[in-house]
Amino acid sequence: MSVESPPRAAAPPPPARPSAGRRVAGRLLHWWRRLTAMRTAIVLLFLLALAAVPGSLLPQRSLSQNKVNAYFTDHPSLAPVLDRFYLFDVFSSPWFAAVYLLLFISLIGCVLPRALEHFRALRAAPPAAPRHLLRLPDSGDLVTPLPGPQALDVVEEELRVRRFRVVRREGELSAEKGYLKETGNLLFHLSLVALLLGLAGGKLWGYEGSILVTEGQGFCNSFQQYDTYSSGPLVQSGDLTPLCVDLEDFRAQYEENLTAASFTADIRYGAPGEDGRPTTIGVNGPLRVDGARVYTTGHGYSPTFSVTRPDGTAISDVSVPFLPTDQSTMASEGALKLPDFGAASDDQLALEGFFAPTGLVQNNILTSVDPRPLAPQVAIVIYQGYLGLDSGIPQSVYSLDASQIDRGRLTRVAAANLKVGESTTLPDGTTVAFTGYREFASLQLSHDPGQVWVLVSAISLLAGLLGMLLLRRERVFARVAADPGGGGTVLTLASLTRGSGESAPRFAALTDDLDDALAARVPAPHPEDRPRES
């Protein structure tokens, strides 16, 4: 007789595969959690600091185009490779902006949930005391003849004096303080987010321009007038502050070791078409007008020349800035181009020169030995021919086009070392005289709408950091029970401390104070209760 085996239970159907939309949503949620983790924010902050290193080591176009050009000249093979990776425009490069944006998103994703959680914690009561208080790191017992409720009254009073939040429960007590530590933590991170917002706002709506202005000349706040300028993508020409600045006088003071001590410039400023108001600015004392600031960032010399043709046509006291090549002696180089002075296009006049504020000629070579204009001299080389200014090819205003010289379009006709008042005569009878010099100032106008925001954010960031480092998060628990050895009460105390410093000394001090306070509450024995002597 055979026994039939029971039928097998049907296998459960395999779970249905989630739809493509749910899989994509799950993957996005996973990456969002990874991005908004505090560990990711720390890594991105480190990457941002690391990405700023090339901006400190290499010249940046936003600060000095001339230094970038000099780097290309000194490193002709390396510079194009670095430029391909935006290392001369680090802070406006796509990869720096990507790290900046990811850090911004990560911080917001980290801080906002923690801020909501901290807000709920501020409104919540301290947690109930653990069941086994003596298992906590800092714990102990006190025996007092006071009843349990009176002992807890003493503990509550002592903790409130120490600014604890106290909650009484049946036979126990919970207290907590140090919420400002987490508040400082949140303030630090929120300030960091605000700091990034301020920097981003300055980049989007800010602008900056630099120009060399010789004494007696000026400029207006227009992108077309600046030598170099940069602006945010949201800046329009109509957003520029209406401002014109005229340089009346410039003074540079030097230390005994001939290093520059200070730059001061007397200027007049005002809106276009208005009579300017006089003021004096310096390196650390800029002009502030309607959110715009005008600084002096450097100085130099503009030699003046007078040119007279044989027919009597003359140009008097024309000045051109010469750029310093040696900051210690202010030796400078530059060029003067006179395209409209020749009778024909192939009879134009130009000169390249070397200016020495305190000149010394050795072996027929002019050098400068002092940055102060004690004995100004200039060495010039004069060319005649076609300058090529109307060819459509951009040229530097501080040097001649070398290609015009190499192709013979410009011919060298004279060279001379001149002191103030001396002149040289060209073969065709034209006279070139060195008549003196004026000083020029490197002025920078900048507008950063996020500057105040960044300052406030930096101050609050430091305040939050101090709160994180100096404050403690501390919890104290107390429970009373009947003393099994007598008619008193056993008071069990414990604490949890999170933050700087050691917790054991603080708990010991609290225990000693409570012991004294409990002893002070014990009533003195009545005289009738004292034992009588036999």
Count Cβ neighbours within 10 Å for each residue of 423-436 and write b for 16 or more, e otherwise.
ebebeeebebbbbb
The pLDDT tens digits of the residues spanning 355-384 come to 999 999 888 889 999 999 999 999 999 998
* 4 Cβ neighbours under 8 A, 6+ residues apart: none
Are 105 and 76 in contact, with CB atoms under 8 Å apart? no
Are 89 and 62 in contact, with CB atoms under 8 Å apart? yes
For the chain, the residue count is: 534
pLDDT band at 21 (very low <50, low <70, confident <90, very high): confident
The pLDDT tens digits of the residues spanning 450-466 come to 888 999 999 999 998 88
Strand partners, 87: none
Report the pLDDT value the prediction gives residue 195, as an integer from 0 to 100. Answer: 87
Report the pLDDT value the prediction gives residue 214, as an integer from 0 to 100. Answer: 94
Report the pLDDT value the prediction gives residue 476, as an integer from 0 to 100. Answer: 92
SS (H, E, C) 200-264: HHHHHHCEEEEEEEECCCEEECCHHHCCEEEECCCCCHHHCCCCEEEEEEEEEEECCCCCEEEEE
Report the pLDDT value the prediction gives residue 434, as an integer from 0 to 100. Answer: 95
pLDDT band at 534 (very low <50, low <70, confident <90, very high): very low
Rounded Cα distance, 406 and 423, in Å: 27
Q: Which residue has the tokens 């001299």?
A: 377
User: CA torsion angle for 327, 333, 338, 339 (degrees, to 10)?
Assistant: -110
Report the pLDDT value the prediction gives residue 6, as an integer from 0 to 100. Answer: 64
Rounded Cα distance, 478 and 492, in Å: 6
The pLDDT tens digits of the residues spanning 161-172 come to 999 989 998 889
Report the pLDDT value the prediction gives residue 462, as an integer from 0 to 100. Answer: 92
User: Is 402 in a helix, a strand, or coil?
Assistant: helix
More confident residue, 182 or 392: 182
Report the pLDDT value the prediction gives residue 425, as an integer from 0 to 100. Answer: 93
pLDDT band at 2 (very low <50, low <70, confident <90, very high): low
Count Cβ neighbours within 10 Å for each residue of 65-78 and write b for 16 or more, e otherwise.
eeebeebbeeeeee
Q: Kindly tell me if the per-residue pLDDT of 527 is higher than 80.
A: no
Least confident of 53-62, 236-245, 455-464, 506-515: 53-62
Sign of CA dihedral 254, 418, 341, 349: negative
Domain residue extents for the chain: 32-120, 125-178+471-522, 207-447
pLDDT band at 438 (very low <50, low <70, confident <90, very high): very high
Least confident of 217-226, 332-341, 396-405: 396-405
User: Is 308 in a helix, a strand, or coil?
Assistant: strand
pLDDT band at 11 (very low <50, low <70, confident <90, very high): low
The pLDDT tens digits of the residues spanning 250-273 come to 998 888 888 888 889 999 999 998
Report the pLDDT value the prediction gives residue 213, as an integer from 0 to 100. Answer: 93
Question: Taking the chain, what is the end-to-end CA distance rounded to the nearest angstrom?
Answer: 105
Q: What is the fold, at CATH topology level, of the domain defined by 125-178+471-522?
A: TATA-Binding Protein (3.30.310)
Q: Which residue has the tokens 């104070």?
A: 513
What average pLDDT does the structure give for the chain?
85
